[in-house]
């Protein structure tokens, strides 16, 4: 059969169009529906159930083990799943515990310490301290105090037999002893330091003033005391009483100007504490009117009010020991 010239050109045009459509590769007739990248790597399309842009994904839509392809077609291995490391539980230092129960629960040592509530009177108040370790002077009769500054507060731990209401040689380890250096805080002046107590020192200074002691050999009762109180002259008086089983020793140093320096010591004869008395700090006091003491001296009966040394004064305040 003979074909016309026009029909022949139409056949050529059809063949050329078919070659362009199939990518000049008769075996790749589905290339248009699948596509290729610049390196000839076949990429799955959504129409085949794969995940676009993922190499090695399942063509059935099942979860594969493929990883995202980089721009160069390289495979990246994901890091293994690691469980996060738990931070260690912080251990609070012993000093952070402000309550005795918490201190004991943490395996620390609780000390009954004090702080000076009023420097003018040396009044002490409980404080308490939680320590890591304890130390000891090794001598229950050694009277002193150890201190540590915590913030703005100076904590004191008194040790010894007469320096503290909590007798014993133990104190927190690492604390500084009062009385051993020039860096002592003012609070150390209110407590025993390095074997010497402030009351003992003050009494020694006042005794050294050498004031007359008119009533030491008095055998006529307390009349001598009241007569000395009524007189306007310097003198040193001593009065001892037994109150509620405790021995109370009072020293009154009359200054001859209507005032007196008063010191007191208490002890318990049952525990031998009177062999080494604990003297309080000296107080400067204003004497009551002379007529009060004149009346006591003239009284035939013993008036308990007359023997109450605290009733001899109208007001008192702590003051350094000085001679009249």
Residue 79 lies inside a defined structural domain of this protein: no
CB 226 within 8 A of CB 217: no
Answer with the one of 169, 196, 223 that is the final residue of a domain. Answer: 196
Same domain, 160 and 102: yes
pLDDT at 3 over 60: no
Full-model pTM: 0.60
Same domain, 174 and 214: no
Range from 51-60, 194-203, 247-256 carrying the lowest mean pLDDT: 51-60
Local confidence band at 4 (pLDDT 50, 70, 90 cut-offs):
very low
* DSSP at 324: -
At 57 the pLDDT is 42
How many residues are recorded in the chain? 324
The rounded distance, in Å, linking the Cα atoms of 270 and 35 is 110
Same domain, 181 and 284: no
Q: Is 187 exposed, middle or buried (0-12, 13-18, 19+ CB in 10 A)?
A: buried
Strand partners, 155: 148
Number of domains in the chain: 2
**Residue that has been written with the tokens 């002046």 in this structure:** 189
Which of left, alpha, beta for 159 (phi over 0: left; psi -120 to 50: alpha)? beta
CB 237 within 8 A of CB 254: yes
pLDDT at 69 over 70: no
CA within 13 Å, CB half, 6? 0
Range from 79-83, 103-107, 185-189, 208-212 carrying the lowest mean pLDDT: 79-83
Quick one: average pLDDT of 44-67?
Answer: 43
Same domain, 175 and 204: no
Quick one: average pLDDT of 85-99?
Answer: 76
Residue 276 lies inside a defined structural domain of this protein: yes
The rounded distance, in Å, linking the Cα atoms of 1 and 7 is 12
Residue 62 lies inside a defined structural domain of this protein: no
Q: CB within 8 A of 216, min separation 6: which ones?
A: 238
At 36 the pLDDT is 41
Quick one: average pLDDT of 270-276?
Answer: 71
Instruction: Give the percent of the chain with pLDDT over 90.
Output: 43
Same domain, 185 and 205: no
Quick one: average pLDDT of 37-66?
Answer: 43
- Beta-strand ranges (E) seen in the chain are 54-55, 67-68, 109-111, 114-118, 123-126, 129-131, 134-136, 144-150, 153-159, 170-172, 176-177, 234-243, 246-255, 259-267, 278-279, 283-287, 313-318
Identify how many contiguous H helices and E strands the chain contains and give both numbers: 7, 17
Answer with the one of 164, 196, 228 that is the final residue of a domain. Answer: 196
Residue 112 lies inside a defined structural domain of this protein: yes
Local confidence band at 244 (pLDDT 50, 70, 90 cut-offs):
confident
Same domain, 192 and 203: no
Same domain, 246 and 295: yes
110: helix, strand or coil: strand
Residue 59 lies inside a defined structural domain of this protein: no
Residue 166's domain comprises 94-196
């Amino acid at each position: 059969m003979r074909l016309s010239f026009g029909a022949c050109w139409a056949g050529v045009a059809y063949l050329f169009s078919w070659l362009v459509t199939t990518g000049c590769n008769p075996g790749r007739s589905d290339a248009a529906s699948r596509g290729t990248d610049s390196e000839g790597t076949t990429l799955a399309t959504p129409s085949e159930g794969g995940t676009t842009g993922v190499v090695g994904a399942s063509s059935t839509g099942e979860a594969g083990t493929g990883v995202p392809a980089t721009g160069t077609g390289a495979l990246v291995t994901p890091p293994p799943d690691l469980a996060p490391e738990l931070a260690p539980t912080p251990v609070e230092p012993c000093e952070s515990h402000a309550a005795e129960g918490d201190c004991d629960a943490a395996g620390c040592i609780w000390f009954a310490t004090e702080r000076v509530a009023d420097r003018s009177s040396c009044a002490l108040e409980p404080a308490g301290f939680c320590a890591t370790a304890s130390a000891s002077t090794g001598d229950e009769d050694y009277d002193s105090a150890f201190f540590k500054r915590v913030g703005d507060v100076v904590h004191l731990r008194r040790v010894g037999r007469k320096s503290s209401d909590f007798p014993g040689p133990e104190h927190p380890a690492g604390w500084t002893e009062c009385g051993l250096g020039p860096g002592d805080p003012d609070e150390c002046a209110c407590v025993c330091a390095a074997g010497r107590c402030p009351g003992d020192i003050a009494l020694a200074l006042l005794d050294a003033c050498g004031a007359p002691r008119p009533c030491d050999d008095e055998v006529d009762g307390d009349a001598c005391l009241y007569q000395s109180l009524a007189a306007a002259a310097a003198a040193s008086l001593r009065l001892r009483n037994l109150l509620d089983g405790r021995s109370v020793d009072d020293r009154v140093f009359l200054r001859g100007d209507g005032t007196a320096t008063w010191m007191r010591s208490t002890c318990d004869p049952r525990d031998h504490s009177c062999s080494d008395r604990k003297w309080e700090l000296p107080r400067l006091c204003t004497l009551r009117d002379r007529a009060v003491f004149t009346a006591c001296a003239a009284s035939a009966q013993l008036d308990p009010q007359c023997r109450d040394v605290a009733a001899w004064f109208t007001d008192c305040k702590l003051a350094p020991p000085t001679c009249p």
